[in-house]
Structure 1
């Protein structure tokens, strides 16, 4: 959608800056809004007790009322089935065939209003698979994704294989399904269970995958991302499990191997911001053709968490989103022309922190985890789905809200109490997008929380739902076979089991200056923590600082962040910034400072004092504690 404008003057600044460069020749005008129809896919009945035949006459299972839909996944390559991870409950006694419908499972759902031979519009793929066919499997089944052969799925760190049969066919029965684990060797002698992987994403060539893995250093939680080749090992002799599995080979750390790709460059006592830095924080997937890797990167503007893409061969970086709100889940269309994102834009959730644009990302050396953690309130998210063309946010174009057509009433497709979750997914023909939502529930509402809890309008009181958006004016894409990617990422760092992991190179403690591209200066002091192991405090003062000659920044910020535990961040933030020019804005804390304590794993907002951003008279205040 075209956002009107609290950002008009920022937009004007952007356009004037573009007119002085080649940008106007690179970026075409934004697309016009297109016709989108959204409907909900059927799910197994939600129950609190037994799953009787009265509730499901087809005996194909029931799911939990809350937590029943655990995650939606991709379409199958036929474009007519969507994968989902569900939690079955209330199974009948073991003498009944329905007893296989229990626990954490992967199903596929018809998206064309037809049913399977069972009579249900869903079919469980992992239910009832013999123990002999799942030796060594991992318990995780998150982010389910289809291989393009239609016979295999990636789910968690497992590959679910139906042999010669299509997953949607009646021939794909539990007896022929095998579940193989994926193993990443991390020891020099190839022993043990291998490394812990998360956020796995299948490359479109179906030969490679990307994944992330947590690191811990200097008392902080960190993360690296990787690119690797899948190789089936039918008879492993080292490492566990000693069962048929997929091994990862030719592993590359997606960390730039030269200093030119660091986010902040240092020369003597001068700093500069590097817009071409490759900073793959958490991997979010690949472009539809597989040429790029998408990721959350080091901020391009202070407190503004965005997604970027880097060419796997050249390392060329592009910033996909730039709206001040938070973006994380996304999927790039099969032809690379469009991106669907889940973003907090429109909610004003993070405008108190990120609303002032064009602040260089200096304090972000220590505040990025805090900024990103404020996006949620526990399990309540503020994401909604948006459609962007390949050129991303620009000018007054911040995408088209996919579920805008509704009256906002309880249960409507744009009911704000239904929160977008990860990950949205394109159909292979480019005409549909699948996404899922969860309803705001306690403790994110009710009780001491000032937000009242809404009542579910879903069947059985279900608090999750799976949606499909039809882009009705589009014609199906003709997708050519994907060329197998190179095992080598030239700008990456080859991984060797047991090696010391690389990390971003940050400036050392000391005094620095950062010159504005057009005018002014920032004076910066970086302070080490008590153990002299990392930077934990930053002071910045701006004097008529401008990178575009249109917006001018003056004032100061002083931030200190401590980590009492690996995931807990405690920040003390003082700010008195003033921006003038085409925008008149301030970013100020209360006299006692903005003191925030937030855990990166739970995302519960808890702060004393205030941090407030005002843009041309519009005031953005922080969320209330616990909301």
Structure 2
């Protein structure tokens, strides 16, 4: 059903017309469309530790191992829309001076996407970084993840490097001797010494001049990260930084995408007994990219609904925030089309992976003050993701519209190799073609220890060539006509709501409400009693207890009951959560969220994601009960 909700800037701030939709109206959801999905060929697989012989690859242009997952990643399209980029790891190369010896280790390749098209040597792929002279890559860093093309067709961002050819990358004229690899460096010391900041998850801004990225940090003993935005500038002769001082790209005029006054949960300055939740706060947990014209950043933010991890967009100039996804399942990989009219996400929606935890909608995000690290980590089982690609229009999830699954067609039989085989799991990031007619995404096959052995889930044999456990897919939006690629305006170096970054300055810290007893008023009626308790050792919040009494923010769903959640961090990346819940909601989102008599106790590492819990936590929505995954799954 399609519901009407009150648009509020904050819980606890009742508005006129409660229960009436005061938000800007969105058009009706789009009709489903035809989507044709195909797999594109990769270099042949070499068995075990074998050699990539002429029998496997007559042209001597490399082989891949069957076990690829953590050493492989698909990237985006080149600007011509006929090639995609991938990070691969070649194996079995013969020793030098054999010409094929250069097809070894981690490299960047480009792959033809049009069936039947080949490069001049007969392959449908071309290695861009193989055989580059050492002098051309003196400052190269070891990371090559999330490969993305620049609009000029001559440069690729890969990890913390920019690969640059004097000719078009796809042309025969682009040879190793004409190709250079330059490191990207963000200074982080006042005297500009050292290797620079540990930047990760880099994303090119659509103007191809600016860059977004994240930097990890430890705050109050817990892992955190902050997002940054800066201008790329080539530095042909660095005078500072690491030795040897090779040519590189520096990030300048950097803005920290954070401000201390942007608190999602805060104490009412006019009444210190009242707690408020600011739905318009810009709380960038991890930067995921930009919208089509680059006016907005996209990011994983503080939950708008308890335990529900979503992606948001924030305008770099005005600070206006849009919530892009609303489904209770987990999402973070996202790409918005160049024409800014559609998005593609990797999401666990449809798998029920997170519904036991986040399925009851409309709960205000109060316990999330201490639980978000844990609730965002149960989405995976180690390296296994439970993502699949979803197509959503610009206006995002709304009512009963939650997008269209790109790879819905097929038998759905586990291990069959079908387009919708659930053992093939979506990975980050999906990417749009420049003309808006195709989407590239990649998948990893479920392998041990995510199945088999002590794990109760069965393992299947990959049907991909050579038993390969990674594949690249192209989704063709069959009814769409190509659009002329758009040119994004050049962004300002200054982000109105950001903070200028000064190298050498201490890490920021996210503020939280002071410990104490508070009241959180429903947007329409009712209230919640909230008790916040600090960890004396770290000075940060450790426990949140909430009791709801006829709480309603939208006038149609009414919440009663209580939750008590506490978290400790024995290591920065490890969360130990003790959770007690007895919630009941009446209304269109009718349901409950309850723990067993002994509560629910979870220990999980945010970087490893192995589920290990004692006790039970379940959510029932519309009469359907969702239960937690088994340990180790």
Q: Structure 1: which 5+ runs fail to align?
A: 1-7
Q: Is the 8 A contact 2:83 2:111 kept in 1?
A: yes
2:312 matched residue in structure 1: 308
Q: Is the 8 A contact 1:14 1:395 kept in 2?
A: no
Residue 149 of structure 2 is aligned with which of 146, 149, 152?
Answer: 146
Q: Distance in 1 between matches of 2:470 and 2:504?
A: 42
Q: Is the 8 A contact 2:527 2:548 kept in 1?
A: yes
What's the offset of the Cα at 1:620? 0.3
Q: Distance in 1 between matches of 2:160 and 2:55?
A: 36
Q: Is the 8 A contact 2:74 2:86 kept in 1?
A: yes
- When normalised by structure 2's length, the TM-score is 0.95
Q: Is the 8 A contact 2:19 2:524 kept in 1?
A: no
1:283-306 per-position Cα deviation (integer Å, ceiling 9, x unaligned):
000111111100000000000000
Q: Is the 8 A contact 1:411 1:458 kept in 2?
A: yes
Q: Distance in 1 between matches of 2:3 and 2:297?
A: 31
| Alignment RMSD | 1.4
Residue 571 of structure 2 is aligned with which of 565, 572, 584?
Answer: 565
Q: Distance in 1 between matches of 2:61 and 2:481?
A: 35
Residue 164 of structure 2 is aligned with which of 161, 165, 174?
Answer: 161
Q: Distance in 2 between matches of 1:372 and 1:91?
A: 40
Residue 540 of structure 2 is aligned with which of 524, 534, 537?
Answer: 534
- When normalised by structure 1's length, the TM-score is 0.96
Q: How does 1:534-613 map to 2 (within 5 A)?
A: 534-613=540-619
1:359 aligns to what SS in structure 2?
coil
- What is the aligned residue count? 614
2:72 aligns to what SS in structure 1?
strand
2:391 aligns to what SS in structure 1?
strand
Q: How does 1:207-246 map to 2 (within 5 A)?
A: 207-241=209-243, 242-246=245-249
Q: Is the 8 A contact 1:15 1:395 kept in 2?
A: no
1:377-402 per-position Cα deviation (integer Å, ceiling 9, x unaligned):
00111000000000000011000000
1:296 matched residue in structure 2: 300
1:610 aligns to what SS in structure 2?
strand
Q: Distance in 1 between matches of 2:487 and 2:606?
A: 40
Q: Distance in 2 between matches of 1:555 and 1:314?
A: 38
Off by >3 Å, runs of 4+ in structure 1: 11-19
Which stretch shifts more, 57-66 or 294-303?
57-66
What's the offset of the Cα at 1:350? 0.4
1:223-263 per-position Cα deviation (integer Å, ceiling 9, x unaligned):
00000000100011111241100011000000136x2x321
Q: Is the 8 A contact 2:602 2:612 kept in 1?
A: yes
Q: Is the 8 A contact 2:337 2:343 kept in 1?
A: yes
What's the offset of the Cα at 1:101? 0.4
1:350-381 per-position Cα deviation (integer Å, ceiling 9, x unaligned):
00000000000000011001111000000111
Residue 345 of structure 2 is aligned with which of 341, 345, 348?
Answer: 341
Q: Distance in 2 between matches of 1:35 and 1:293?
A: 30
What's the offset of the Cα at 1:481? 2.2
2:33 aligns to what SS in structure 1?
coil
Q: Distance in 2 between matches of 1:298 and 1:119?
A: 49
What's the offset of the Cα at 1:93? 2.4
1:203 matched residue in structure 2: 205
2:181 matched residue in structure 1: 179
Residue 279 of structure 1 is aligned with which of 275, 280, 283?
Answer: 283
2:20 matched residue in structure 1: 20
Q: How does 1:67-466 map to 2 (within 5 A)?
A: 67=68, 70-113=72-115, 114-163=117-166, 165-241=167-243, 242-256=245-259, 259=261, 261-267=262-268, 268-409=272-413, 410-466=416-472
Q: Is the 8 A contact 1:269 1:512 kept in 2?
A: yes
1:562-608 per-position Cα deviation (integer Å, ceiling 9, x unaligned):
10101011000000001112333111001111000110011000000
What's the offset of the Cα at 1:265? 2.6
